[in-house]
Amino acid sequence: MYQLFKAKAEGVSAEVFRFAMCEEALDFIIRFLQKEGVADEPYASAVWADSPFLKRIDRGALEKIAGLKFAVTRESAAAARFGISQMEWGLADTGTLVQNSTAIAQRLVSSLTSIHIALVPTDGILPDMPTLLSRVRPEVCAYIAMITGPSRTADIERVLTIGVHGPERLVIVFVDELGGDN
């Protein structure tokens, strides 16, 4: 299912990576942020919303990154270039990520920033939408958010253009250690 997910997500311009261990994923994210020029300046900073991933790693390495904040507010998110969050599920047949986004911070980091990095447990990949809806009930998730690729529009002359109101890049990082062996 991972292969199908990857193909579908890449088909809508998402970038898909997979790591066995949390440490490897962490290393990837740090290098990614640095390469992209993360800094403690407006529109160069990063916000990281509360994620189970953060409890499984040594956060020491993250504290050294200038401009990376864990306190997500509308101001910090609006000023950030990078938003990092963990999403619970993937839908293989459309390359979609799904999250219980009831907590507002989860939505801010994935909607106000330019680059959204989404961590996903590899075994969170489900075959399709019906399977998801049979597992995730609105009674317990007030805001179910689905994300398929970066923000896009074709409203001017039907020309596909990436990055309107939401992120212009979606970087998906699967981590096997977060669960499962899809």
Among 60, 71, 165, 181, binds other proteins (CB under 8 A): 165
**What is the nearest approach in angstroms of other proteins to the Cβ of residue 81?**
13
Residue 45, φ and ψ in degrees, nearest 5: -85, 175
Across 12-37, b (16+ Cβ under 10 Å) vs e yields: ebbbbbbbeebebbbebbbebbeebe
The H or E element that residue 23 is part of is: helix 22-35
Q: Which of residues 69-128 bind other proteins (CB under 8 A)?
A: 73-74, 78, 93-96, 101-104, 107-108, 111-112, 128
CA atoms in the 13 A half-sphere facing the CB of 141: 17
In sequence order, what DSSP letters do the residues of 152-168 get, joined into one string? EE-TTTT--EE-SSS-S
- Does residue 8 interact with other proteins by CB under 8 A? yes
- Does residue 21 interact with other proteins by CB under 8 A? no
Residue 131, φ and ψ in degrees, nearest 5: -65, -45
Among 146, 177, 179, 180, binds other proteins (CB under 8 A): 146
- Does residue 134 interact with other proteins by CB under 8 A? yes
Any idea which residue has 């040594």 for tokens? 58
Q: Which stretch binds other proteins (CB under 8 A): 31-39, 48-56, 63-71, 144-152?
A: 144-152
Nearer residue to other proteins within complex by CB, 52 or 130: 130
- Does residue 34 interact with other proteins by CB under 8 A? no
- Does residue 16 interact with other proteins by CB under 8 A? no
Exposed / middle / buried, residue 97 (Cβ in 10 Å: 0-12, 13-18, 19+): buried
Task: State the residues that interact with other proteins by CB under 8 A.
Answer: 8, 12, 73-74, 78, 93-96, 101-104, 107-108, 111-112, 128-130, 132-134, 137-139, 141-159, 161, 163-167
